[in-house]
Amino acid sequence: MCRARSMPSYLLFAACLFLAAGSFSQVNGQAPGTTEVTVFEGARLITGDGNTIENSSFIVENNRFTSVGRRVDVQVPRGAARVDLTGKTVMPTMVDLHGHIGFQNVAEGTMSKETFTRENLIDHLQRLAYHGVGAIVGIGDLVSRLDMRGGRTHWGDVPLRVRDETIPNAALFKTAGPGMAWPGAGAQGHPSRADVMYPVTTVEEAREAVQDYVRMKPEFIKIWVDNRDGRVKTLTPPLYRAIIEEAHKHNVPVGVHNVTLANAKELMRAGVEGWLHVPVRQGEAADDELIAIVKERIARNDRPLMWMTPGLQTAWMNTQGQRPAWLDDPLLRESYSPQHIREYWGDPLMKMTPEAIERVRKNLVLDGSNAMKLRAAGMRIVMGTDTGQSRFFIGYFNHMALESYVAIGMTPAEAIVAATRDSAEIAKVNSGMMAPGRSADFIVLDANPIENIANTRRIIKVYLRGQEVPRAAMTAKWQTQFRTASTR
């Protein structure tokens, strides 16, 4: 009770309010005028830049790292909460630059435009968080655009709204918009996403589409240059050069899905920054001329930051035999139903002959060799999984991608740098490293992925922006959804 008989009434009222506020702060475990500070101690720390700190200590305050180093060197603030991580390994969360999320109803195993809602997009972002992914760039997103016939599609603006939100327990979302392609030659697979791209057939349409596209402020403009083994037409060099030139006028980068060596050279000369998949694949090899083009761009400082998301995880998974151990991985079974694991991967793998597996292995070796040659020339390999289609497991595929990077010749430490620091730089997110000032996004593991990259799947906890993600509650919800769906 507040008592001060000689105090004026207005001062007495103010004093009571002050005391009440102080009592409320203390009840909630926080002293008046202070912020929550937590120190995490004892872990092996993979910082994201290629370094490892044994017996580390790092401090999180206001959702960011404020100090990171050896335990003996980090001064712990008085009153900080302490978390003992002795015997554990900590690494930054990953960043995915090639997602196709939003269309899929994971529980039902279906895809549709109607599914692309804010709620469903957030569900996918939470699945990514569960697996240790802190941010993703969506590609081929369902967002209104010019229909190239004088009108607009009226598909809404869900991706643009969600990218402006910081959603608890969910990966950050950024968008590369709907993409651009020759009609019918963009994203393949389920028809729900096959017509969302700007369809362009003339230079005039291409420039007009870019002018509309840049109003969305996309991370980059995605284009498809792929005739699908001669089944469809695709963007011609005059068309994609017009797109690239117009995009660069607005300081917007371009990312491309292409296949052939000839197109890779033309696209590289035209100034494309990013490749979604290896730039040369399906039986062709990167030659000395392409390598020279990469090196020359870097030497001229002509958009020298060039990157690729290899997208080799499905090929790598197909080489692991008819019954690979990962089919029974608890991490996968916590977020996907046994029915869908069997349908999407178990049954197809069982039907693969030794000859088919060998063909996939040879293609993986060649595509991996192309990726590593281009990396040696100066391109960056970064994280991108093509995730969001039915058999492209959301979140789990990021771990499969890491294993594919090691399979083609990267060290585990290099693969982690690619998936964390380097991907965060391209996505322009303040994540991907354990360093002061960075967002406190990290994974706690019970094994060391530097010794075996598959240990990134040994997740104990995930923290986003300094807060622990409630993984047990998430998987309980998903398992209930799967049981409900199976009874329909």
What is the rounded distance in angstroms from the CA atom of residue 371 to the CA atom of residue 373? Answer: 6
Q: Cβ–Cβ contacts within 10 Å for residue 460, how many?
A: 14
Angle at 294 between CA 289 and CA 297, to 5 degrees: 120
SS3 424: helix
State which H helix or E strand residue 110 sits in: strand 110-111
Is 27's pLDDT higher than 60?
no
- Look at residue 428 in the predicted model and tell me its pLDDT: 97
DSSP β-bridge partners for residue 439? 64
The confidence band for 487, taking pLDDT boundaries of 50, 70 and 90, is: confident
SS3 221: strand
pLDDT in tens, 107-160: 999 999 999 999 999 999 999 999 999 999 999 999 999 999 999 999 999 999
Is 1's pLDDT higher than 80?
no
SS (H, E, C) 210-255: HHHHHHHCCCCEEEEECCCCCCCCCCCHHHHHHHHHHHHHCCCCEE
**Region 359-371: what's the mean pLDDT?**
98
The confidence band for 389, taking pLDDT boundaries of 50, 70 and 90, is: confident
**Region 356-371: what's the mean pLDDT?**
97
The confidence band for 15, taking pLDDT boundaries of 50, 70 and 90, is: very low
- Look at residue 47 in the predicted model and tell me its pLDDT: 98
Angle at 58 between CA 472 and CA 422, to 5 degrees: 80
Q: What's the number of CA atoms in the CB half-sphere (13 Å) around residue 38?
A: 15
Is 29's pLDDT higher than 60?
no
**Strand 198-199 relative to strand 52-53, pairing:** unpaired
What is the rounded distance in angstroms from the CA atom of residue 364 to the CA atom of residue 314? Answer: 10
- The pTM of this model reads 0.92
Q: Phi and psi (nearest 5°) for 167?
A: -100, 125
- Look at residue 488 in the predicted model and tell me its pLDDT: 72
CATH architecture, range 93-428: Alpha-Beta Barrel (3.20)
pLDDT in tens, 300-314: 999 999 999 999 999
Domains in the chain: boundaries: 93-428
The confidence band for 205, taking pLDDT boundaries of 50, 70 and 90, is: very high
Is 175's pLDDT higher than 70?
yes
- Look at residue 35 in the predicted model and tell me its pLDDT: 63
pLDDT in tens, 238-287: 999 999 999 999 999 999 999 999 999 999 999 999 999 999 999 999 99
- Average pLDDT along the chain: 93
What one-letter code names the amino acid at 478? W
